[in-house]
């Protein structure tokens, strides 16, 4: 199905449930998709950071896209990450995920390789030229170690290279430049500007963003759907209250002991523990070499859920 | 063939010649292997940074290992990079390159994913547990964005997890800690400590390194073989003179205009231009999305070769 | 005069006009203060980044505070930066600026010295213990190279160490955590949470910030005063339009050629060129070793002013 | 007294002993100077990082230079750091330390302020133009957050702006470029290239460095003097053995618990504890806001001293 232009609303970056031996847990993945669709989200994004895409083998990635596509049918648009180091490797993923049914692909700038703005532009132009579906840029400096420049994004949008941006940079000022540019610049009609932040979705929508891709929407999709609806109704006060409730819930990402594990292990472990505690998935395990949460840390996730009224 | 323990001498990280349409240029790759073997190097390392591993598809990676293994036979040990983001993906590469004949694998810490020392240790333990050949650690902070800690490396060496280290961190103090520790610590016999620097191979050997993996050895393998021999003979003065000649030659990595391309494009472009000008490979092209050197920049590479007596 | 608790509204970080031989241009500084006061701002902040505090000698810093205090009298509260590397040096500045009349001091975490959260906390506790006026924390990771943690700020607020925060980190999610915590946590009443961003003042006020400290308010104080008023009236739509006009104006910070100067030279040069072109200051020169804007670059600043209706 | 051109040998960056109430402990400072001079060092460097210059007030800095100069008389050259953010502030320190008797000044690139290679060059040109004594560049990326480019250093050397370099970057390849350039480039005669590393002084001297400025030379000046002498005699093997002994001793910098303090507190605390345990200074306290070592951590410093034969 064609991706709306622009794509609006809540687009959860779907977690990838795993079995205890770290294979994709297909029944749990289907239950998670139902959990999200039933909450009224607008599209799904698989194989992003919240999906542990960096930890999934190519076979697992294909299985995820195929499973979600088959279960979703044409009900909602399906975006898929094509996370890899450089153009030739990304193009292999583009072929793979579009064959499995992705309606759009989401690509970062090159990483690991030393890069340059001219090479980033060249990368997106090549990916778009060989992709049969629209290409979204994924700005994630914490992983990619460069920041996508607003001007570059708008130039690639105007040239029809990029169909949208998922901005997880945390820099709302640069995000605004893309939002405003996408509205005012000739040739950029229909470009989708999506925030990847969990914490300022109301702010992003207020300044004109099309939608949001918050990892925490796995845990509480209803909350983000409510924010989106309240913002569209112009009820900023209640949107803010809902956002503040979700900010408190987001505190769960810090349950893991930083002496024992990285912030990624803690955050993804917390999301999966929450999905497990809410009965959505069968096993909270994360991919290797992430360190699992302790029993006490999982209990603290439960307290966050209880406080947010989710248990 | 078993990797010597320790592996000593010059181990060029073999460039990957490409055709104009960016496929692996097998005849050029074979000529390059001959060029290196004939110069008297001690082993070969494929699929590292100088090989543009980050830019090669999985099929191209397999073709590179298979080609070099078939041509090399058992004449020299063959190490192969397994560069990918996390453990499950690295393990797929381990299976692939060992099937194609690699005698050892070379793995970085996780990247793209946020990480932690405990997760890096877990990563190497899992990789080693499932690899049929020895595992070398690859310390390349400019790409991986974390630095391998000397103490962690020595601990993994003592536990039999790591067989060696390729250190491209540029931090000779930390490197020395591994060299000294590998000599003095119980249970670390046979551990290989290799510098990835082009510029201080004489210094590294003088302080006890086992060998070197310099990208510039593609261009002038004889020079690095001479340094290694002079150092082993204790002729430090002539080793230093040879090293200084190679430092001057290494200046070629800066020929590319930094307004137009990144430092990676410039350095890899210069190595390949030099191999092309020396008649070793048929085409100097680098992988996408790297920016090619201009004609004038290639001419400047030629001047570096001429000054070093290589044209 | 006592600083309001919380301090609200627009608090321009006052530029420091210089003479052609780089001395403080006292008459221009007084004119700039009038320009800001007449626009209806709520307080003034001298010796911050927009003031080129890092470039001013101690004598010049004293002259700036003394001049502004004398001219301002008790009309508005006066905050002064005490920017230096560590506690003992900061304490010297605290003594100096309070003697010259500052009503509050604004201090960063230690920089240049390698630091640690425990040392940052100790730093603020010592500064507050020896300051006769309230202490604001200044979060400016681009200069200080560490980020102030929201939890640490709230803890220091609850303990009466900090009276407020000027957040120039660009991280609106972390900013929101302080805003919300300052409202809900026991013992933190009256804490001032101010954004240092030029680009998302409407967003910051919408989520509950007390005020803003935008460098661009030197150039267009009326614009920021309008945003503040519109936000307080709940007229978010017109606040956003005004903010978007100011975002476009802010584009002036990029007029400087990045091949010839740093982003600081460009931004501070543009602010001062704008003040010069608007007739507020007599000379647009910036402190050494910043590179001056070219004539053409100054002309481009003029075009930004014209587009914004300020010429 | 004029600084030798080049300055050679061991130049300890002198620690600044403090009293329990954090004033300069003048008698201990004099004893420390004697300890260093008696060991046969070649010059002294005050107000560098090992001196806690970032933590000293201007009055304390003046007292340090004056005390050391008065005690030293003309026996050895005295270099003094002029560590501050930008040119105007550095120039104030230049005036102050030369008035107090410094024979040369040591300046970093601008920090805190965002900078640019053109601004760094401008900075050094202005400092040199207004300094009555030779100017050394101090390359310390861990504090300054930019790296001095070898080419820029050599250009400033050839123009007579810089008299030498203290390189604490840890990048021996870049250091070698300066060493070699200083020997071969026209107009750079007499330029001093000094390593700031504790761990590779033998390597640096072997590749042609003029001398070393190791913080650990406070604790064991005799060791570094021995390395220097052995290297000049070409006895590389014994130099390496001595260096390895000092590398083991340097392990003391890690005694501090990283959960409780930063690496600076740990390293400077260890140096001062060692000087205290060796009877050179009266009190091991470091400046605020550094966290002091615990009793157990000080004991571990003692063990390092014992192992190195220094107790």
Q: Between chains, do D203 and B199 touch, taking CB under 8 Å as contact?
A: no
- For D48-100, write each residue's pLDDT tens digit: 999 999 999 999 999 999 999 999 999 999 999 999 999 999 999 999 999 99
Interface contact B122, partner D, CB < 8 A: no
Q: Between chains, do D55 and C290 touch, taking CB under 8 Å as contact?
A: no
CA pair distance A182, C244, nearest whole angstrom = 13
Q: Is B200 annotated as a binding residue?
A: no
Interface contact B207, partner D, CB < 8 A: yes
Section D205-215 average pLDDT = 98
For residue D215, what pLDDT band results from cuts at 50, 70 and 90? very high
Q: Between chains, do D207 and B200 touch, taking CB under 8 Å as contact?
A: yes
pLDDT of residue C187: 86
ipTM of this predicted structure? 0.97
Of the candidates A27, A14, A139, A28, which has an alpha carbon nearest to the alpha carbon of residue A65?
A: A14
Section C7-16 average pLDDT = 98
Residues of B in contact with D233 (CB under 8 A): none
Q: Between chains, do A199 and C176 touch, taking CB under 8 Å as contact?
A: yes
Section A92-108 average pLDDT = 98
The number of C-alpha atoms within 13 Å of C128 and in the hemisphere containing its C-beta is 20
Section D154-181 average pLDDT = 97
Interface contact D151, partner B, CB < 8 A: no
pLDDT of residue D86: 98
Q: Between chains, do B289 and A86 touch, taking CB under 8 Å as contact?
A: yes
Interface contact D132, partner C, CB < 8 A: no
Percent of chain B with pLDDT over 90: 98
pLDDT of residue A52: 98
Q: What is the mean pLDDT of chain A?
A: 97
Beta-strand pair A211-212/A192-195: parallel
Q: What is the mean pLDDT of chain C?
A: 97
CB pairs under 8 A between A and C: 66
CA distance D94 to chain C (A): 12
Residues of A in contact with B156 (CB under 8 A): none
- For D281-306, write each residue's pLDDT tens digit: 999 999 999 999 999 999 999 999 99
Interface contact A113, partner B, CB < 8 A: yes
pLDDT of residue C285: 98
- Is pLDDT of D1 > 90? no
- For A131-151, write each residue's pLDDT tens digit: 999 999 999 999 999 999 999
Catalytic-role residue among D138, D224, D276, D304: D138
Q: Between chains, do B198 and D173 touch, taking CB under 8 Å as contact?
A: yes
- Label residue A184 exposed, middle or buried (CB < 10 Å: 0-12, 13-18, 19+): exposed
Residues of D in contact with B180 (CB under 8 A): 244, 247
Q: What is the mean pLDDT of chain B?
A: 97
Q: Which amino acids of A are annotated catalytic?
A: 138, 166
Q: Which residue of B has its CA nearest to A292?
A: B119
- Establish whether the linkage from the previous residue to C6 is cis, with ω within 30° of 0: yes
pLDDT of residue A157: 98
Section C245-262 average pLDDT = 97
- Is pLDDT of C1 > 90? no
- For C139-166, write each residue's pLDDT tens digit: 999 999 999 999 999 999 999 999 999 9
pLDDT of residue D155: 98
CA pair distance B128, A274, nearest whole angstrom = 32
Which residue segments constitute the domains of chain C, with CATH numbers given? 9-235 (3.20.20.70)
Interface contact A123, partner B, CB < 8 A: yes
- Is pLDDT of A173 > 90? yes
- Catalytic status, residue C166: yes
pLDDT of residue A187: 86
pLDDT of residue C104: 98
Section B28-38 average pLDDT = 98
Q: What is the mean pLDDT of chain D?
A: 97
Q: What value, to the nearest 5°, has the Cα angle with vertex B251 and ends B245 and B252?
A: 115
pLDDT of residue A1: 79
The number of C-alpha atoms within 13 Å of A160 and in the hemisphere containing its C-beta is 3
pLDDT of residue D187: 86
CB pairs under 8 A between B and D: 66
Q: Between chains, do B207 and D198 touch, taking CB under 8 Å as contact?
A: no
Section B10-27 average pLDDT = 98
- For D240-279, write each residue's pLDDT tens digit: 999 999 999 999 999 999 999 999 999 999 999 999 999 9
Interface contact C122, partner D, CB < 8 A: yes
CA pair distance A253, B224, nearest whole angstrom = 50
Residues of C in contact with D118 (CB under 8 A): 260-262, 291
**Contact, D252 vs D270, CB < 8 A?**
yes
For residue C251, what pLDDT band results from cuts at 50, 70 and 90? very high
For residue A32, what pLDDT band results from cuts at 50, 70 and 90? very high
Alpha-carbon separation of residue D72 from A101, D11, D38, D43 (angstroms): 79, 14, 12, 10
- For A250-281, write each residue's pLDDT tens digit: 999 999 999 999 999 999 999 999 999 999 99
Both tokens assigned to B103: 């005698």
Section A72-78 average pLDDT = 96
């Amino acid at each position: 199905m064609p991706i709306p232009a622009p794509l609006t609303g809540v687009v959860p970056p779907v977690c990838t449930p795993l079995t205890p031996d770290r294979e994709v847990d297909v029944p749990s993945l289907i239950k998670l998709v139902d959990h999200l669709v039933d909450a009224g989200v607008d599209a799904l994004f698989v194989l992003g950071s919240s999906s542990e895409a960096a930890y999934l083998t190519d076979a697992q990635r294909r299985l995820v896209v195929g499973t979600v596509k088959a279960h979703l049918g044409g009900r909602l648009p399906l975006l898929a990450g094509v996370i890899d180091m450089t153009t030739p490797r990304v193009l292999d993923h583009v072929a793979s995920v579009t064959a499995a049914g992705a309606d759009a692909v989401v690509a970062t700038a090159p990483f690991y390789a030393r890069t340059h703005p001219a090479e980033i532009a060249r990368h997106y132009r090549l990916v778009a030229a060989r992709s049969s579906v629209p290409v979204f840029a994924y700005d994630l400096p914490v992983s990619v170690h460069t920041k996508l420049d607003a001007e570059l994004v708008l130039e690639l949008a105007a040239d029809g290279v990029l169909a949208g941006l998922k901005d997880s940079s945390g820099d709302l000022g640069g995000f605004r430049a893309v939002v405003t540019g996408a509205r005012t610049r000739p040739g950029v009609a229909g470009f989708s500007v999506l925030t990847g932040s969990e914490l300022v979705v109301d702010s992003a929508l207020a300044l004109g963003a099309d939608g949001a891709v918050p990892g925490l929407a796995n845990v509480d999709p209803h909350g983000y759907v409510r924010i989106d609806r309240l913002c569209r109704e112009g009820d900023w006060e209640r949107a803010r209250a809902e956002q503040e409730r979700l900010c408190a819930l987001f505190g769960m990402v810090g349950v893991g002991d930083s002496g024992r594990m990285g912030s990624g292990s803690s955050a993804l472990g917390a999301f999966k523990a929450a999905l497990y505690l809410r009965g959505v998935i069968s096993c909270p395990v994360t991919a290797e070499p992430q360190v699992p949460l302790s029993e006490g840390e999982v209990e603290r996730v439960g307290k966050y859920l209880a406080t947010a009224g989710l248990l």
